Chain A
Amino acid sequence: MNPLLRRLRQDLFATPADSLLSIALLAILASGSTAFLHWAFSRAQWAVIQANSTLFALGRYPIEQQWRLWLLTALLAAAAGIGWGMLRSHPRTDRSGRLWPANDRIAALLLLLSLALPWALGLALPIQLRWWALSGLLLLLRWLAGRFGPGLPPALKRLLPLGLPLLYLIGMLLIGGGLGLAPVPPSEWGGLLLTLLQASFAILLCFPLGVLLALGRRSDLPLLRWGSVIYIEFIRGAPLITLLFLGQNMLGFLLPGGMAPERVWRAAWVLTLFAAAYLAEAVRSGLAAVPRGQVEAARSLGLSLPQAFSTVVLPQALRVALPSMVGQFISLLQDTTLLSLIGLMELLGTARTVMANPAFLGKNAEVYLTLAVLFWCCCAALGLGSRALERRLDPAAVVRSG
Chain B
Amino acid sequence: MSQSTTSSSYSSAANPSPLMIEARGVEKWYPNGYHALRGVDLTVNRGEVVVIMGPSGSGKSTFIRTFNALEDFQKGQITVDGIPLSNDLRQIDAIRREVGMVFQQFNLFPHLSVLDNLTLAPVLVRKRPKAEVVEQARALLKRVGIAEQADKYPGQLSGGQQQRVAIARALCMEPRILLFDEPTSALDPEMVREVLEVMQNLAADDITMVVVTHEVKFARQVADRVVLMAEGDVVEVAEPEQFFTNPRQERSRRFLDQIL
Contacts and interface: CB of A to CB of B under 8 A. Distances in A.
B153 A301 contact: no
B161 interface: no
A301 B173 contact: yes
Interface in B225-251: none
Nearest to A300: B101
Interface stretch (B11-19, B92-100, B204-212): B92-100
A398 B153 contact: yes
A319 B111 CA distance: 9
Contacts of B101: 296-297, 300
A45 interface: no
B129 interface: no
A302 B111 contact: no
B218 interface: no
A152 interface: no
B103 interface: yes
A353 B190 CA distance: 74
Interface residues of A, number: 23
A294 B109 contact: yes
A300 B99 contact: yes
Contact of B107 (A294, A303, A393): A294
A293 B100 CA distance: 14
B68 A399 contact: no
A396 B134 CA distance: 23
Given A301-B169, A301-B170, A395-B153, A293 B96 contact: no
B103 A395 contact: no
B111 A395 contact: yes
A306 to B, nearest CB: 11
Contact of A316 (B93, B103, B110): B110
A176 interface: no
Contact of B110 (A296, A307, A395): A395
A311 interface: yes
25 contacts: A291-B105, A291-B107, A293-B103, A294-B107, A294-B109, A296-B101, A296-B103, A296-B107, A297-B107, A297-B108, A298-B121, A299-B96, A300-B70, A300-B99, A301-B120, A302-B97, A307-B125, A311-B124, A312-B109, A312-B120, A316-B110, A319-B111, A395-B154, A399-B155, A399-B156
Interface of B: 68, 70, 93, 96-97, 99-101, 103, 105, 107-111, 120-121, 124-126, 152-156, 166, 169-170, 173
> Which 4 pairs from chain A and chain B are nearest by CB?
A297-B107, A301-B121, A293-B107, A395-B153
